[in-house]
Structure 1
Amino acid sequence: VLCNILGDFPSRLVGFGSFDYFTPLLGGMLLGIPSIIHEQNGNMGIVNRLFSKRVKVVASGSHSPQFPSGTNWVFTGNPIRKEILSNLGHAYEFPSDQKINVLIIGGSQGARIFDQIIPDAISGLPGELLQRLSIHQQVREENLSDVESIYQGLGVDYEIKPFYGNIPELMTKSQLIIARSGASSIAEIMAMGLPSILVPFAAASNDEQTINSKSLEKAGAAIVLGENILKPELMSEAIVSILGNPEKARQMAATSKSLGVADAAKRLGDLVDNPKDGAKN
């Protein structure tokens, strides 16, 4: 690695947290090359934690990170994909008498607990609200028939799939999103300005999804439900508290939008070009 660095001597080194970046960052440190790391979550993985106080600055994807004491960090946000960026002109709307769209996604493979809990939670909603719902839910392949049976029995409008290729489009039409709280998901939800119910993945190694969700919860842009205590009744209450109160839904959407960062990639690039002092943990 040192030979490669010396052969094409860089002015900066940037790491993004995986073990692939350990050796380049170490080589850069030994050669005195200014280095920066980007941390997408509210707390750090092993590699970023090792270098957090040895780099010029840490670019934080989180508004309120829990970084090691003495870390010099600047909030940049997390870069978001172009498909989301191209849909940012959409304004949040809560219809007075039309269908209310609810988008439920659980990550690339779906979330088994969503398949188990959310259909029962929908079953427990007041009839007037239930009749207005249009549900788009990502469901694991093995659970499709069970979930479909429940929604058919309720007579609710629904579409269930193991995978959606048009998530950005569905987000523009949604009044509520129920999701995990991975860093990229949080960034996209905020950029789109949606009220959300977030269920952090309990098995995440550093509990980063819980930390990621806290800034939205604290600001009033999301309701956070812990996976370990999640029950259909709690989910029903959360859904009703948002969709049963259009003004609250609009306020949550506005707050979510205010937290979003559409130009995170530019902010990160500018910080790489001109590392600066930021906040200190």
Structure 2
Amino acid sequence: MSGASKHFVLAAGGTGGHLIPAFALAIELDRRGHHVALITDERGANIPGKPDFLPAHILPAGRITKNPLSWVPGLRSIMEGRRMALRLFESFEPSAVIGFGGYPAAPALLASTSADIPSLVHEQNAVLGRVNRLLAGRVQAIATAFPGVKRLKAKYADKVHLVGNPVRPELLQLRDEPFPAFTDDGLLRVLVTGGSQGANILSEIVPDGLAMLQPALRSRLQVTQQCRAEDLDAVRERYRAHDIPAELGTYFEDMAARLADAHLFIGRAGASTIAELTAVGRPAILVPLPIATDDHQTDNTREVVKAGGARAIKQPRFTAKELAKQIQAMAQRPETLATAAHGAWNCGRPDAVKDLADLIESAGGADLMDVIRVDGKHRQGAAQSVKPASSAAKDVSAKVGSE
């Protein structure tokens, strides 16, 4: 779909969940010959993984919460960021602006509406985030990673495009590789990661849960676990006491290779994690982070659990006994684990970054055939194009506090 070179602005909050898909899209757009700029906060400007070619512009982005005391300073900061974004647009002249959620995306999207520049949002989770909810009525397209996104109003259905979450190229290369051989007497390789939040619950529960497996399965374990630095010694001692071989670390640079070798994943249910597991096709036991906004990690698990590719355990029920029970059920026979792997694979959306790039390229231009996954297959829907906004930004004060 790419033709003449265009300029695009990506706007995202400073966390990995928002920036990973933004970086992936930037790389794809750059590959197609376009110019891309990033609007974010200070964290996002300095986060590892930002492409060298991608200039980052830091804008103020106030937080508007349920607390009335946040409304005035939050709105003032957002509007200052909007003015700065408008000045950037005058020089950069973007063909479209796409927001990936997080408060830094709000000023850029408001500015795009004011300047009659087409705008889109991408929602990584199965629940529409606060900023994307605030701006859903103003943008021309809403790209989603999951079907049936919660808190997305039915009246916006005509501008929803199911594309998925972009996944790193090194993981996509594994999609057509077979599930690693797992036999009645072979090793059971388990990969455990917890992310930056709440990893200690996995450090506390997983070693003891693995120790409770039936001897025939426990004796074949080979574990790789990512832990917080302060948990390493305690977790190492737990595995040593249980006589379970385990490799521990705070960070593994070759995570793609480790996922490729894994028969079973245990960890949180962030959007990027789900996208990677389903892209590669790896069975999982997922423990949603209970403090995630709107409990979105629980909703992130629904599609893959329904497909048989994972089992979800709410954190209050996440005990060593329950973990052992679920592992035993999934891995008691080689075909059971392979079937779960196939169920996860069927939920993958490997063309997410391509489809997202096609969508933003279509902004204000030719129609885009929207590709929608239905029952594990693809269906081409009616042609949908992203058209420029027709009116200036409205006063956002009516929205303040409505979240």
Place the TM-score, normalised by the shorter chain, in its bin.
Answer: over 0.9
Matching residue of 1:164: 252
Report the alpha carbon displacement of residue 228 of structure 1 after superposing the two structures with TM.
Answer: 2.0
Matching residue of 1:245: 333
Which residue among 346, 357, 372 is the counterpart of 1:269? 357
Return the alpha-carbon distance in structure 1 between the equivalents of residues 168 and 126 of structure 2.
20
Report the alpha carbon displacement of residue 103 of structure 1 after superposing the two structures with TM.
Answer: 0.5
Change (3 A) 1:137 1:3: closer
Give matches, 1:214-229, under 5 Å. 214-229=302-317
Matching residue of 1:190: 278
Return the alpha-carbon distance in structure 2 between the equivalents of residues 27 and 148 of structure 1.
51
The question of whether the paired residues in 2 share the 8 Å contact of 1:57 and 1:277 is answered with no
Is there any run of 5+ residues in structure 1 with no aligned partner, and where? none
Return the alpha-carbon distance in structure 1 between the equivalents of residues 279 and 337 of structure 2.
16
Is there any run of 5+ residues in structure 2 with no aligned partner, and where? 1-84, 373-403
Identity of aligned residues (%): 32
Report the alpha carbon displacement of residue 108 of structure 1 after superposing the two structures with TM.
Answer: 4.1
Does 2:164 match 1:80? no
Does 2:106 match 1:22? yes
Report the alpha carbon displacement of residue 158 of structure 1 after superposing the two structures with TM.
Answer: 1.6
The question of whether the paired residues in 1 share the 8 Å contact of 2:122 and 2:143 is answered with yes
Q: CA RMSD in A?
A: 1.8
Matching residue of 1:124: 212
Matching residue of 2:124: 40
The question of whether the paired residues in 1 share the 8 Å contact of 2:265 and 2:283 is answered with yes
- Secondary structure of 1:36's aligned partner: strand
The question of whether the paired residues in 2 share the 8 Å contact of 1:14 and 1:35 is answered with yes
Does 2:138 match 1:54? yes
| Aligned AA (1:55) | V
Report the alpha carbon displacement of residue 115 of structure 1 after superposing the two structures with TM.
Answer: 0.7
- Secondary structure of 1:102's aligned partner: strand
Change (3 A) 1:163 1:110: farther
Does 2:195 match 1:111? no
Return the alpha-carbon distance in structure 2 between the equivalents of residues 109 and 89 of structure 1.
32
Report the alpha carbon displacement of residue 109 of structure 1 after superposing the two structures with TM.
Answer: 6.3
The question of whether the paired residues in 1 share the 8 Å contact of 2:198 and 2:289 is answered with no
Return the alpha-carbon distance in structure 1 between the equivalents of residues 198 and 220 of structure 2.
25
1:201-236 per-position Cα deviation (integer Å, ceiling 9, x unaligned): 111122111111111111111100011221111111
| Aligned AA (1:224) | A
Matching residue of 1:205: 293
| Aligned AA (1:52) | A
| Aligned AA (1:12) | A
Q: TM-score, normalising length from structure 2? A: 0.66
Report the alpha carbon displacement of residue 83 of structure 1 after superposing the two structures with TM.
Answer: 2.7
Farther off after superposition, 130-139 or 82-91: 82-91
| Aligned AA (1:39) | E
* Equivalent residue pairs, number: 279
Which residue among 149, 152, 158 is the counterpart of 1:65? 149
- Secondary structure of 2:147's aligned partner: coil
Change (3 A) 1:95 1:4: closer
| Aligned AA (1:180) | R
Return the alpha-carbon distance in structure 2 between the equivalents of residues 116 and 58 of structure 1.
39
- Secondary structure of 1:14's aligned partner: strand
The question of whether the paired residues in 2 share the 8 Å contact of 1:110 and 1:138 is answered with no
Return the alpha-carbon distance in structure 2 between the equivalents of residues 265 and 124 of structure 1.
41
- Secondary structure of 2:182's aligned partner: coil
Farther off after superposition, 158-167 or 113-122: 158-167
